[in-house]
Amino acid sequence: MPSTFNGLKSLHYLNLDGNNLEKVDAHYFSGPAVLRTLRLARNRIYYTEDNSFLTLNSLNTLDMSNNLIRKVPALTFTGLRNLTHLDLHQNEIVWIEERAFSPLQRLVSLNVKQNNFRGVDQDTFDVMPRLKHIYFDTFYMCAYATHVSDCQPQGDGISSRYNLLESTILRAAVWAVAILACFGNITVFMGRTIVKDDNPVHSFLIKNLSLADLLMGIYLIVLATHDLRYRGSYLSKDKEWRDSWGCDVIGSLATISNEGSVLTLTMITLDRYICILYPLKMRRRTVCHAYLVMFVIWGGCVAIAVFPVMGLSYFGTHFYRRNAVCIPLFLEDPRSHGWEYSAFIFLGVNLGSFVFIAYAYVAMFLAIRRSRLMYRPADESQERCLMKRFFFIVVTDLMCWMPIILLKVAALAGVEISGDLYAWLVVFILPVNSALNPLLYTLTTRLFKQRLMTGLATAVWRRRSLETNSSSSFSFSSLKSRGSSPRLEKDINEFEQLSSLKTNGNNFYIGKMKYMYSNGRVIYPPGKPVPVHVGYKPVAS
């Protein structure tokens, strides 16, 4: 009742915490004029009438935390001219009316953490000239209180008031992974396109993997260039960046890359698994089948990435915009709008793929080992080499995916994730697989290196032949004058035939040849049953 505290003229401290109060009417506290501290926390207050604290001119501390306040009207704090500490954290505040804090000219500390702000006027906090400490949930809210010396938090582990990527080491890591991912995957894509493979289905899947990983490299380059662009003044540009279509685009790009890489790796593993464990079944694998599978995978990845930005209320407006790197991991606020969708991506698709890949490679290794023991003595060196390759494939996937999966589960269980750990997880661990895949699946494989060297050797030989044929010292006309033209033409014809000839299924003759130019002769090395004609001399390899 309004008269409850009448007559308490000397009351300095009043604690009404946890009393299920639902509203504060005007003049409830008109009696205790010298009240210094008023605690109204842990109630159910949803409404505060205008001028409710009009007579509390001596009040220094007001605690209204842990209530249900949704709006702060303009006249809520009228009369509190000596208030120095105001706590409004853990309410449901979505809007603070303009000039609502104008009466608080001596306020020093303001806590508005754990609220649901949808909009704040630019000068909402500027009207409090003595404000020294202010507490938000996210550092980018400090853009509304630039005059405050101590605005918390200073950053989110990834960004700060000054830089999009705060850590110098993190910046260097982003550039390193971006360059490796782009260079490695472009090399793989071009190499697989130029060098023909006996297994076109596998080669096609590897090219799609390199394309998916290349998208991650592009994402990192865009992120790193924006960090350079905003260096030293990021806070003033944060809203512009996170609310832009650019953040949605690179967030979608990263999601497409991540899911495309995961699902393509799963298909590559499935292809190997079927070939090794069931070699007599499903043998009619064609490139057309691979085209169809990859079309479905790419279409699904694009749909997964674009769906959250279609304007559905379930996702809200900040699915990709929750942090400056635009990755929807939801570790800082695991139950926000769209958290189930994020969990489906990282705990459903990624975890399921990893479990299958780990199982498949173990099964393949055991099957190959049994086959060798059954049909011929085991070659321990080859077995160790195969085990190492399979081991590194599984371990790199484990190192890149499991930390994300485990931290996602921990966040959903209520464990608070460190901002620094979150930064490394999002900016380094998540994309690093894109830089490692080219090494694991192409650049370090013996067959690819042999084919690549074969192609390079052919190109070098042809170039030297053209240069030699164009010179006056080594021309068909001069050789013809010495009577050597028929033999040289024969050598050239034989070489062209041998260049396209295969032996033992996979090994090209051209990969085993050395070329020497001496009076128009092409000299072959020993070690293969090549017919040696008159004028040919074997040389040591």
* Angle at 70 (CA atoms; ends 69, 74), nearest 5 degrees: 90
- The token pair at 65 is 């935390």
Question: How many other CB atoms are found less than 10 A from the CB of residue 485?
Answer: 15
The model's pLDDT over 174-205, given as tens digits with 9 standing for 90+, comes to: 999 999 999 999 988 988 888 777 778 888 99
**Closest listed residue to residue 80, CA positions, set 98, 47, 104, 108:** 104
**pLDDT at residue number 42:** 95
> Which among 47-56, 259-268, 466-475 has the top mean pLDDT?
259-268
**Closest listed residue to residue 249, CA positions, set 274, 279, 294, 219:** 219
The helix (H) or strand (E) run that includes residue 261 is: helix 245-277
**pLDDT at residue number 381:** 61
**pLDDT at residue number 421:** 87
Is residue 505 pLDDT above 80, yes or no?
no
- In the chain the domains, ranked by start, together with CATH numbers, are 1-153 (3.80.10.10), 168-435 (1.20.1070.10), 453-541 (no CATH)
Is residue 473 pLDDT above 60, yes or no?
no
**pLDDT at residue number 475:** 45
Q: Rounded to whole angstroms, how far apart are CA atoms 541 and 390?
A: 33
- What is the mean predicted confidence (pLDDT) over 61-78? 94
- What is the mean predicted confidence (pLDDT) over 210-229? 95
**pLDDT at residue number 456:** 63
Is residue 402 pLDDT above 70, yes or no?
yes
- The token pair at 209 is 């993997």
Q: Rounded to whole angstroms, how far apart are CA atoms 342 and 516?
A: 62
Query: Sign of the C-alpha dihedral, residues 300, 269, 213, 196?
Result: negative
User: Quick check: helix, strand or coil at residue 387?
Assistant: helix
Q: Rounded to whole angstroms, how far apart are CA atoms 417 and 420?
A: 9
- What is the mean predicted confidence (pLDDT) over 484-507? 44
Question: How many other CB atoms are found less than 10 A from the CB of residue 454?
Answer: 19
**pLDDT at residue number 132:** 96
**Closest listed residue to residue 71, CA positions, set 90, 53, 92, 85:** 92
**pLDDT at residue number 445:** 66
The β-bridge relationship of strands 37-39 and 47-48 is unpaired
**pLDDT at residue number 388:** 72
* Residues above pLDDT 90, as percent of the chain: 44
Q: Rounded to whole angstroms, how far apart are CA atoms 152 and 460?
A: 63
Q: Rounded to whole angstroms, how far apart are CA atoms 142 and 156?
A: 12
**pLDDT at residue number 9:** 74
**pLDDT at residue number 304:** 96
Question: How many other CB atoms are found less than 10 A from the CB of residue 385?
Answer: 12
The model's pLDDT over 265-324, given as tens digits with 9 standing for 90+, comes to: 999 999 888 888 887 765 567 889 899 999 999 999 999 999 999 988 899 888 999 889
pLDDT, mean over the chain: 81
**pLDDT at residue number 121:** 83
**pLDDT at residue number 425:** 87
Cα of first residue to Cα of last residue in the chain, in angstroms, is 104
C-alpha dist (Å) from residue 69 to 101, 185, 255, 368: 15, 53, 37, 67
Is residue 36 pLDDT above 80, yes or no?
yes
**pLDDT at residue number 1:** 52
**pLDDT at residue number 317:** 82
With contact defined as beta carbons under 8 Å apart, do 407 and 425 qualify? yes
C-alpha dist (Å) from residue 320 to 337, 417, 516: 11, 19, 61
Number of residues that this document lists for the chain:
541
Is residue 424 pLDDT above 60, yes or no?
yes
- What is the mean predicted confidence (pLDDT) over 101-123? 91
What is the distance of C-alpha 450 from the center of its chain? 33
The reported pTM is 0.75
- What is the mean predicted confidence (pLDDT) over 353-373? 85
Query: Sign of the C-alpha dihedral, residues 98, 101, 102, 108?
Result: negative
**pLDDT at residue number 112:** 96
Q: Which runs of consecutive H residues, i.e. helices, occur in 24-140?
A: none
